[in-house]
Amino acid sequence: MIEVFHHYPLKEHNTFGISAFAKAYTSIITLQQLKEALAYFHGSDKFLLGGGSNMLILNDIEKPVLHINLTGIERIRANGNLVQLKVAAGENWHKLVLYCVENNLAGIENLALIPGNTGTAPIQNIGAYGVELKDVFVSCEVMDLESGMKRTLTAAECNFGYRDSVFKNEALGKYVITSVTLELTDLNETSDYDLKINYGAIKEEMERLDGEASIAKVAQAVINIRSSKLPDPKVIGNSGSFFKNPVIEKGKYQDLLQSFPDMPSYAVNEGHVKIPAGWLIDQSGFKGKRYGDAGIHDKQALVLVNHGNATGNEILNVAKEIQKMVKTTYGILIETEVNLIEN
Ligand code: EPU
């Protein structure tokens, strides 16, 4: 049985805390309910809601909203030192990280405190501190929104890139992800595992913490760093990085260095570098600015925030101003990382 609610408030279901309504809304806690909902709303486009952590809602949502709240973590295979976990789409990502740390399963500790659910993690191939979901991803189960048929997609079929996957491209709007299978190193069986601590401030933060180096310590270091720079959505509405870090040609970067000798970069490949969008925005003077209730976080310029009652469009206007300024100053287009939801 599914229960459908009309004019359902979404403010609590998007981490930006935008007040908007769903014309029709249903919460899905079983695969059977998912099938029923697909049949019930057959013929109309659906809006899939997970943790609501990577979206900016611009208007009320006309499409039926299916809130994917499937839960369960299953150990499906243990092969020597490796364990595969099949995680239902509605499981909170950070809770999964904590579960893995508690159970001595290594691989996602660097991804602590990323908001959102496990089922939406593949869509933008979540990443932080030198690790991306694709590093531990085996496959995901999906249901075709049209036919209701189940399918398994392998890592290769997901075609992961930097904050990118097939789900943002060819398969956009085609499937609902129902579970994700990850392969992790079982530290109860082996100690042969390299902690990834060379990215950013992890090493320094770990030195400040007591005890031996461990996945728990890495997770704690990431939690500390993230909490010091990124606003807690429960306190102040936000969606993490609002923009992607732009990738530009090396030649263009060399030219820019003439005028902006301090511009940082990360190597991408022989011909390209990635520029931290946070730096570009910060240099353009936006950090901590506020326009009504829409603004830019005071500790990380890449994060746009809702100080209370900003509308999606007010936040989008700030984003457009930022994009314009960065384009004018550096000739670089910074693209949004957050999904803009029109209706
Ligand atoms: N910087 C500034 N001012 C700022 C922010 C950044 O000057 O206000 C400069 C600094 O030089 C800093 C550099 O930009 O060294 C990079 O900043 P930082 O390491 O804080 O993060 P980032 O590279 O901008 C990316 C991800 C984050 C992820 C961190 C850590 C993107 C768009 N963002 O940010 O992901 O947590 O690296 O790995 O790739 C997210 O996707 O929501 C997210 C938070």
Q: How far is the CA of 341 from the centre of ligand 1 (A)?
A: 24
Paired tokens of 97: 């990280």
Least confident span in 3-7, 181-185, 210-214, 275-279: 210-214
For the beta carbon of residue 317, count every other beta carbon within 10 angstroms: 15
How confident is the model at residue 78, as a pLDDT? Answer: 82
If asked whether residues 79 and 59 sit together in one domain, one would say no
Paired tokens of 88: 């239902």
- Provide the pLDDT confidence category of residue 79 given band limits of 50, 70 and 90: confident
Q: What is the CATH number of the domain that holds 32?
A: 3.30.43.10
If asked whether residues 83 and 188 sit together in one domain, one would say yes
**210-232 per-position pLDDT tens digit:** 999 999 999 999 999 999 999 99
Sign of CA dihedral 128, 132, 136, 138: positive
Ligand 1 pocket by Cβ (under 6 Å) = 128-129, 200, 229-230, 240-241, 244-245, 264, 276, 278-279, 282, 287, 300-302, 337
If asked whether residues 189 and 275 sit together in one domain, one would say no
Pairing of strands 272-274, 247-249: antiparallel
- Rounded-to-integer distance, Cα 48 and Cα 171, Å: 14
> Domain boundary residue among 179, 206, 229?
229
If asked whether residues 21 and 116 sit together in one domain, one would say no
* Mean of pLDDT values over 307-327: 98
State the pTM of this model.
0.94
- Provide the pLDDT confidence category of residue 77 given band limits of 50, 70 and 90: confident
Residue among 275, 279, 297, 326 whose CB has most ligand 1 atoms within 8 A, to mutate = 279
If asked whether residues 13 and 93 sit together in one domain, one would say no
If asked whether residues 157 and 280 sit together in one domain, one would say no
Cα distances (angstroms) measured from residue 316 to each of 28, 57, 206, 273, 310: 30, 10, 37, 27, 10
Residues 6+ apart with CB under 8 A from 220: 112, 209
- Ligand 1, atom 36, residue with closest C-alpha: 128
Active site annotation includes 337: yes
If asked whether residues 107 and 83 sit together in one domain, one would say yes
For the beta carbon of residue 150, count every other beta carbon within 10 angstroms: 13
If asked whether residues 167 and 131 sit together in one domain, one would say yes
If asked whether residues 84 and 222 sit together in one domain, one would say yes
- Provide the pLDDT confidence category of residue 313 given band limits of 50, 70 and 90: very high
Class of residue 261 by CB neighbours under 10 A (exposed 0-12, middle 13-18, buried 19+)? exposed
If asked whether residues 204 and 260 sit together in one domain, one would say no
Q: CA geometry: angle at 14 spanning 13 and 16, to 5°?
A: 145
If asked whether residues 64 and 111 sit together in one domain, one would say no
Paired tokens of 200: 């950013």
If asked whether residues 103 and 39 sit together in one domain, one would say no
Residue 259 is classified by DSSP as: H
> Domain boundary residue among 207, 229, 251?
229
Compute the mean pLDDT over every residue in the chain, rounded to the nearest whole number.
Answer: 96
* Mean of pLDDT values over 324-330: 97
Residue 343 predicted with pLDDT over 80: no
Q: What is the CATH number of the domain that holds 129?
A: 3.30.465.10
* Mean of pLDDT values over 271-291: 97
| Domain ranges, residue 198 | 73-229
Residue 112 predicted with pLDDT over 90: yes
Residue 334 is classified by DSSP as: P
- Rounded-to-integer distance, Cα 263 and Cα 5, Å: 50
Active site annotation includes 163: yes
* Mean of pLDDT values over 67-78: 95
Distance of CA 263 to the CA centre of its chain: 26
Residue 239 predicted with pLDDT over 90: yes
How confident is the model at residue 5, as a pLDDT? Answer: 98
> What domain count does the chain have?
3
Paired tokens of 293: 């209730």
Q: What is the CATH number of the domain that holds 286?
A: 3.90.78.10
Residue among 132, 135, 160, 302 whose CB has most ligand 1 atoms within 8 A, to mutate = 302
- Provide the pLDDT confidence category of residue 233 given band limits of 50, 70 and 90: very high
Q: What percent of the chain has pLDDT over 90?
A: 97
